[in-house]
């Protein structure tokens, strides 16, 4: 009788623990491949800050193949004139970006160090150029069983001499949103190309 009571209590405890685990387990947010990127951006002193996120219908490797490739940067970075690698080491690069400005300053130069955690994280920080500060990150998180990617972007930047008055909060949001939309398009194109190449290689075998 006593053993039966102990067994019942153990079963009750296991049930409570199981239910507690279910209630406290993190719930993964459903992917949303159709919505426009969510963007928060604002002018901050002589510069601006931004945070943005979106879901991409492509695995992190496909997004990374676009994001980390200097030669493809003009395909998704709004206002970019050129991207050039000045130095390179294991897990890092120093890049020079030239960006379209405005009539009084038609071209701006930004030299940054980029640090890579492939398929997961790209951080950047300005080391010279027309920006008094420019740092942030691109973070990739697999979703949808690895078939998709949640992309998060953060930026804190300030320009020597300040941003022009015409560059409003609305225009900052628009620039960031256009950049993410273009990154999504190029990443999904990269996914399609990789899938076609894999299918072609399989048919040859």
Nearest alpha carbon to residue 71 among 84, 53, 81: 84
Q: How far is CA 42 from CA 39, 108, 174, in A?
A: 10, 20, 11
pLDDT at 59: 98
Distance of CA 191 to the CA centre of its chain: 16
CATH number (domain holding residue 181): 3.30.530.20
Q: Which domain holds residue 119?
A: 47-196
In a domain, 30, yes or no: no
Q: How many domains does the chain have?
A: 1
Cα–Cα distance measured from residue 184 to residue 193, given in angstroms and rounded to the nearest whole number: 14
pLDDT at 168: 84
In a domain, 35, yes or no: no
In a domain, 70, yes or no: yes
pLDDT at 17: 44
In a domain, 136, yes or no: yes
Distance of CA 135 to the CA centre of its chain: 14
Backbone angles phi, psi at 40, to 5 degrees: -120, 125
In 3-state terms, what secondary structure has residue 71? helix
In a domain, 86, yes or no: yes
Sequential pLDDT tens for the chain (205 residues): 555 554 555 455 554 444 444 344 444 457 899 999 999 999 888 889 999 999 999 999 999 999 999 999 999 998 999 999 999 999 999 999 999 988 888 999 999 999 999 999 999 999 999 999 999 999 999 999 999 999 999 999 999 888 887 778 898 999 999 999 999 999 999 999 988 887 766 556 6
pLDDT at 130: 95
């Amino acid at each position: 009788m006593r053993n039966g009571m102990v067994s019942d209590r153990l079963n009750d405890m296991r049930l409570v623990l199981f239910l507690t685990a279910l209630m406290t387990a993190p719930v993964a947010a459903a992917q949303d491949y159709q919505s426009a990127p969510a963007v928060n951006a604002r002018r901050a002193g002589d510069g601006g800050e931004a945070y943005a996120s979106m879901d991409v219908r492509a695995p992190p490797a496909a997004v990374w193949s676009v994001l980390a490739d200097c030669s493809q940067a003009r395909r998704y970075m709004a206002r970019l004139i050129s991207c050039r690698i000045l130095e390179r080491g294991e897990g890092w690069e120093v890049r020079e970006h030239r960006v379209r400005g405005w009539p009084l300053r038609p071209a701006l130069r930004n030299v940054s160090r980029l640090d890579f955690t492939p398929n997961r994280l790209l951080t950047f920080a300005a080391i010279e150029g027309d920006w008094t500060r420019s740092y942030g990150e691109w973070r990739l998180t697999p979703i949808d069983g690895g078939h998709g990617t949640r992309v998060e972007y953060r930026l804190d930047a300030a320009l020597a001499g300040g941003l022009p008055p015409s560059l409003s909060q609305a225009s900052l949001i628009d620039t960031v949103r256009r950049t993410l939309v273009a990154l999504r398009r190029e990443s999904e194109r990269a996914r399609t190309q990789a899938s076609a190449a894999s299918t072609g290689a399989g048919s040859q075998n």
